[in-house]
Amino acid sequence: MGLEQNRAIEDRMDGLLKAQGLTQGSVGARMTALGNDPRHLFPDTDAGRAELLAYLNGLIATVRPNLAKAFTLKLKAPVQVKRVPVDIQNGAGQGYMNTGSLDGSRPSIYYINLKSTRNWPKFSLPTLTYHETIPGHAWQGAYLTETGKMPLIRILLSGFNAYVEGYALYAEQLADEIGMYDADWAGRLGYLQGQKFRAVRLVVDTGLHSKRWTRDQAVQWAMDNTGRTRDAMTSEIDRYVGTPGQACGYKVGHTEINRMRDRAKAGLGGRYDLRRFNDLIVETGSAPLTVLSDVVDRYVAAGGRIDL
């Protein structure tokens, strides 16, 4: 699946790059060049970092009014954007989210590693932000913390990776579907680069843990096929070395959720409502994909109605 996904996404990226007059070299090489273009970079200074954080807050504010196109759920989902603390940035992930507290006293916190702003061309930030905040992880977490409908044991045991990360990758897709890139060709390229990166993960994780690839081989392959920086890909590969299979959960979960959506659309016909399907995926909460599939089948059998 990794190579097939990679090729399909690469074809779309190639078309967008050519439309901008970027025709020479591989897609990865052209994305590397685009990512090094000063027009797409924030200054690698404290002022540049502050500008980047303000941009992320702007993205969150812009997507909020569009959520009604994808959900009927009414969630507040407050989010605070922070830089990864300097004293841990060397060993920290590139971007991650901490769900808000159960009592509502602390919002979800979206952390981004700003050791170097060169790791974050402007076009790469929208899809990361939608993944980590809304309609992604912060939206997932808000249902748990705001509604009181999920038993505490389900909240505590919420680490089913293929669901959690598969949904957040699906949320990136939803952002595209509700029009967040309609006037942003570079952001759409960043979205597709992110999708390509998740397909690349399937290859490098398998290469490392089954094909006996070296760390350097995996880093170089990821760089060549995504156009992202060596520092960013080294951080990612080190994570995969330590957690075999975790990187695969993103694309596996995303693919399965789309298959469930296709099944629901075919089974419900005129009664199908994308917003209610998306609500269902969030309302089910973290679960194995087989359990989530059963819930979707029950939803279809009940004519688009189900009491969780």
147 inside domain: yes
190 inside domain: yes
307 inside domain: no
Q: pLDDT above 70 covers what percent of the chain?
A: 97
Q: So what's the pLDDT on residue 39?
A: 95
**Which tens digit of pLDDT belongs to each residue from 154-184?**
887 778 999 999 999 999 999 999 999 999 9
Report d(CA 207, CA 198) in Å as an integer: 14
Q: Which stretch of 16-25, 214-223, 226-235 has the lowest confidence by average pLDDT?
A: 226-235
Q: So what's the pLDDT on residue 199?
A: 86
181 inside domain: yes
306 inside domain: no
Q: So what's the pLDDT on residue 156?
A: 77
**Average pLDDT of the chain?**
93
308 inside domain: no
Beta bridge partners of 83: 112
Domain extent for 16:
2-301
Per-residue pLDDT for 1 more than 60? no
203 inside domain: yes
Per-residue pLDDT for 131 more than 70? yes
192 inside domain: yes
Q: So what's the pLDDT on residue 51?
A: 98
**Which tens digit of pLDDT belongs to each residue from 248-269?**
999 999 999 999 999 999 999 9
Q: So what's the pLDDT on residue 6?
A: 67
Per-residue pLDDT for 308 more than 70? no
Number of domains in the chain: 1
**Which tens digit of pLDDT belongs to each residue from 37-57?**
999 999 999 999 999 999 999
Q: So what's the pLDDT on residue 189?
A: 96
Q: So what's the pLDDT on residue 149?
A: 87
